[in-house]
Amino acid sequence: MHSTAEENYIKAIYKLSGGGAKAVSTTGLSESLETKPASVSDMLRKLSAKDLVHYVKYHGVQLTEEGRRVALKIIRKHRLWEVFLVQKLHFTWDEVHEVAEQMEHVKSELLIQRLDEFLGHPRVDPHGDPIPTEAGELRQEEQRVLSSLAVEQKGVVCRVKDSQPAFLQYLNKMGIQIGSQLQVVDKIPYDNSLEISIDKTKSVILSSDVLDKIFVINP
C-alpha cells in the first residue's frame, strides 16, 4: 500500500499534468504541495523506484499506467466523500475540501464500494467534476445547456456558468444543486422559459437566462 505522502504526490502530478498527459516540473509540484523542491526530488526518486512515475532528472515526471490508476482511485474516493459531506452532512462547497482530503486516504475497498452504493452511484461531485468508476475510468459525459432540453427530457446538474453569490443563492432557494435530477415538464413558448421538476419532488419555472447557465449530463 502507499503512504499518505505518496498518494498526495501522485494526485498532484495527476492534476498538474492534466490527467497524466504532459510532464510536470519539480517546482510546479513543490508549489502545489507546499514543500521545497529538494523534498520533491527526493520523493520522485522513490516513486520512480516503485514504478509509479517516469522520472528523468532535470526533465520532469509523468505518471506510469499504474500511477494513473492509483491517482484515479484516490480521486474517486475524494469525490465520493465530497458528495457524502454535501448531500448527507450538509457541508457547503467550500467546507468539504479539507475534510475530503483526509478521508480519501482511508484504506478499504469495501468502504468505497458501499459508500458509492449508499450515495446512489453519483457521477459528479459537488463541484461538477466527474467521479472515476470503480474500474478506474473517467468517462467524460456530454454536457448540455439546460435550455437545450426538450419536454420530457431528463438531466443531472453538473455545472453552473455563473458563480456569483446571488445566482448560487437563487439556485439554493430553488433546491437546485450539482447532482440534482431535473426533468423538463413543460415549455412556455412565449419567453422560452421551462417548467422543470427537481429531484422528482417539486417543480419550478426557470427563465431562459437561468436555463442558459445550467449544464446537465444524461442521467
20 counts as binding DNA under rule CB under 7 A? no
200 counts as binding DNA under rule CB under 7 A? no
Give the one entry of its own copies, DNA, none that residue 89 binds, where binding means its C-beta sits below a cut-off of 5 to 8 angstroms depending on kind. its own copies
CA angle 126, 211, 96 (to 5 degrees): 10
Closest CB 46 distance from DNA, rounded Å: 6
Single out the segment in contact with its own copies by CB under 8 A; choices: 5-13, 94-102, 133-141, 189-197.
94-102
Closest CB 100 distance from DNA, rounded Å: 18
Rounded Cα gap, residues 123 and 145, in angstroms: 17
Single out the segment in contact with DNA by CB under 7 A; choices: 51-59, 79-87, 162-170, 207-215.
51-59
Rounded Cα gap, residues 173 and 162, in angstroms: 16
67 counts as binding DNA under rule CB under 7 A? no
3 counts as binding DNA under rule CB under 7 A? yes
Q: Kindly state the cell numbers that stand for 142.
A: 456530454
Give the 3-state secondary structure of residue 127: coil
Single out the segment in contact with its own copies by CB under 8 A; choices: 58-66, 72-80, 95-103, 187-195.
95-103
Q: Kindly state the cell numbers that stand for 129.
A: 467534476
Single out the segment in contact with DNA by CB under 7 A; choices: 44-52, 140-148, 180-188, 203-211.
44-52
27 counts as binding DNA under rule CB under 7 A? yes
Residue among 21, 49, 89, 188 that touches its own copies (CB under 8 A): 89
- The mark string for 104-143 relative to its own copies (x by CB under 8 A, - otherwise) is --xxx-xx--xx-xx-------------------------
Q: How many of the chain's residues bind its own copies (CB under 8 A)? A: 19
Cα–Cα distances in Å, from 129 out to 23, 120, 122? 22, 16, 11
Tally of CB atoms within 10 A around 140: 8
Residues lying near DNA in the complex (CB under 7 A): 3-6, 25-28, 33-46, 55, 57-60
Residues lying near its own copies in the complex (CB under 8 A): 85, 88-91, 95, 98-99, 102-103, 106-108, 110-111, 114-115, 117-118
